[in-house]
C-alpha cells in the first residue's frame, strides 16, 4: 500500500520528506488523546501527535509534500475496544500549497482509489487468504465517493435516535452507524468550529463552520482520514489558539514562522493502519501493525 501511495503521489509532483518525532509543540487537536512529554535536555518536548505544524513549515521549500509520519497519542482507555485506535500509528500525511478543500478531497479520493486498485490487481492471493471479498470495493472503484455535511450526518443520527451533539465531532458509535450504512467511502464536511484544531480554516462565507472534512470508510470501518484548508493568517491563528483555551506562547517557533508568512494550503492525513485494516478486511486495527500498541496495554 505504501509503494502504491508513493507511486501515486510521486506522479502528482509531491516530494516525500522525513517527519520529526519530537518537538517543543505538536498538534493539539487530537480528540481526547493525551500528548506524551519527553525531557529533552531539560526542556519539555512532545512526541508528535500529528505532523500538521511541520507540514506547513515544509511548504517553505516545496509546494507539494508528504510524510509517512509516525504519531503517538495516549488515547483514552475506552478506545481499546473501538477496534480502530492505536496509541502508535502512522499517517500518509499530505499538504499542498494553494489548494482548496475541494482539490485536496479529490486528491485523497484518487489516492485511496489508486492504492485499492493496485492491491486488488496485484495481491489477489493475499486478499483471498485474508477472506476479503474484493467485490466490496466495486463501488469505490467505479464511482465518486459520497459527500455529506456534518449537519446532515448529525440530523441523520438524531433521526435514528442517536444523541449526537451538533457542536462536536461525530462520536465513535455514531461514526460506526454511518459507516455501516455506507457501501462506498464518503466525505463528511463542514465541521463546527471548536470541534477541531486551530489550523482548520473557518469559512468566510459561513462563519462557525470549517473548510474541512473527514473521509469515512464503508462497512463499519469508520474514519480513514481527516483534512482541511489551513488557516495561515497570523492574527486569526492567535485568536483561534486563544479560543481553545491554549496559550499562544506555547507555539513559539510556529507563530514566528506564520508571522513571517506561510503559504495558503490544504492537506490531509490518512491513517495507514486504519486504511490497511479496511483494505484487508481485518477485525481490528491492531492487526494492521507489526508492533501494535492497543491503548492502555503495555508489554513487560
Chain residues that interact with a copy of itself, rule: CB under 8 A: 2-3, 10, 16-24, 36-43, 45, 47, 54, 57-58, 61, 68, 70, 72, 74, 77, 87-88, 90, 252-253, 272, 290-291, 293, 295-300
Q: Find the DSSP H helices in the chain.
A: 2-11, 52-58, 101-122, 124-129, 138-142, 150-159, 172-181, 234-243, 252-260, 272-280
Chain center to CA of 183: 21
Shortest approach of a copy of itself to residue 120 CB, angstroms?
Answer: 20
Nearer Cβ to a copy of itself (24/146): 24
Shortest approach of a copy of itself to residue 170 CB, angstroms?
Answer: 26
Nearer Cβ to a copy of itself (80/168): 80
Residue 157 neighbours by CB distance under 10 Å: 21
Nearer Cβ to a copy of itself (19/153): 19
Q: Supply 299's cell numbers.
A: 508489554
Helix (H) or strand (E) run with residue 44 in it: strand 43-47
Please give the DSSP secondary-structure letter assigned to residue 244. Answer: T
Residue 174 neighbours by CB distance under 10 Å: 21
Shortest approach of a copy of itself to residue 233 CB, angstroms?
Answer: 22
Shortest approach of a copy of itself to residue 40 CB, angstroms?
Answer: 6
- What is the Cα–Cα distance from 79 to 269, expressed in whole angstroms? 20
Chain center to CA of 176: 17
Nearer Cβ to a copy of itself (51/215): 51
Beta pairing, strands 43-47 & 64-72: unpaired
Shortest approach of a copy of itself to residue 56 CB, angstroms?
Answer: 12
Shortest approach of a copy of itself to residue 83 CB, angstroms?
Answer: 19
CA dihedral (131, 133, 134, 138) in degrees, to 10, reads -160
Nearer Cβ to a copy of itself (34/110): 34
Shortest approach of a copy of itself to residue 191 CB, angstroms?
Answer: 28
Q: Supply 14's cell numbers.
A: 509531491
- What is the Cα–Cα distance from 194 to 210, expressed in whole angstroms? 9
Shortest approach of a copy of itself to residue 53 CB, angstroms?
Answer: 10
Side-chain half-sphere of 35: how many Cα atoms within 13 Å? Answer: 19
R_g of the chain, CA atoms, integer Å: 19
Nearer Cβ to a copy of itself (19/217): 19
Nearer Cβ to a copy of itself (10/233): 10
Nearer Cβ to a copy of itself (72/104): 72
Amino acid at each position: 500500500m505504501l509503494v502504491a501511495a508513493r507511486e501515486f503521489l510521486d506522479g502528482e509532483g509531491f516530494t516525500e520528506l522525513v517527519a520529526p518525532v519530537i518537538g517543543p509543540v505538536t498538534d493539539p487537536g487530537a480528540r481526547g488523546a493525551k500528548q506524551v512529554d519527553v525531557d529533552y535536555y531539560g526542556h519539555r518536548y512532545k512526541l508528535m501527535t500529528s505532523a500538521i505544524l511541520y507540514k506547513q513549515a515544509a511548504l517553505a521549500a516545496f509546494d507539494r509534500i508528504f510524510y509517512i509520519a509516525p504519531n503517538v497519542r495516549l488515547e483514552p482507555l475506552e478506545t481499546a475496544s473501538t477496534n480502530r485506535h492505536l496509541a502508535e500509528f502512522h499517517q500518509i500525511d499530505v499538504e499542498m500549497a494553494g489548494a482548496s478543500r475541494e482539490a485536496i478531497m479529490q486528491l485523497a479520493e484518487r489516492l485511496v482509489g489508486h492504492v485499492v486498485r493496485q492491491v486488488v490487481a496485484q495481491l489477489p492471493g493475499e486478499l483471498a487468504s485474508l477472506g476479503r471479498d474484493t467485490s466490496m470495493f466495486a463501488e469505490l472503484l467505479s464511482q465518486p465517493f459520497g459527500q455529506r455535511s456534518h449537519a446532515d450526518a448529525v440530523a441523520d443520527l438524531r433521526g435514528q435516535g442517536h444523541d449526537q451533539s451538533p457542536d462536536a465531532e461525530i462520536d465513535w458509535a455514531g461514526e460506526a452507524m454511518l459507516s455501516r450504512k455506507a457501501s462506498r467511502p464518503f466525505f463528511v464536511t463542514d465541521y463546527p468550529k471548536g470541534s477541531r484544531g486551530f489550523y482548520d480554516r473557518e469559512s468566510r462565507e459561513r462563519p462557525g463552520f470549517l473548510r474541512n472534512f473527514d473521509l469515512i470508510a464503508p462497512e463499519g470501518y469508520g474514519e480513514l482520514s481527516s483534512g482541511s484548508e489551513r488557516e495561515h493568517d497570523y492574527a486569526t491563528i492567535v485568536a483561534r489558539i486563544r479560543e481553545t483555551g491554549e496559550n499562544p506562547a506555547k507555539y513559539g517557533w510556529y507563530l514566528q514562522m506564520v508571522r513571517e508568512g506561510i503559504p495558503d494550503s490544504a492537506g490531509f492525513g490518512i491513517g495507514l493502519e486504519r486504511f490497511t485494516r479496511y483494505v484487508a478486511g481485518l477485525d481490528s486495527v491492531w492487526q494492521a501493525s507489526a508492533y501494535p500498541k492497543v491503548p492502555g496495554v503495555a508489554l513487560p
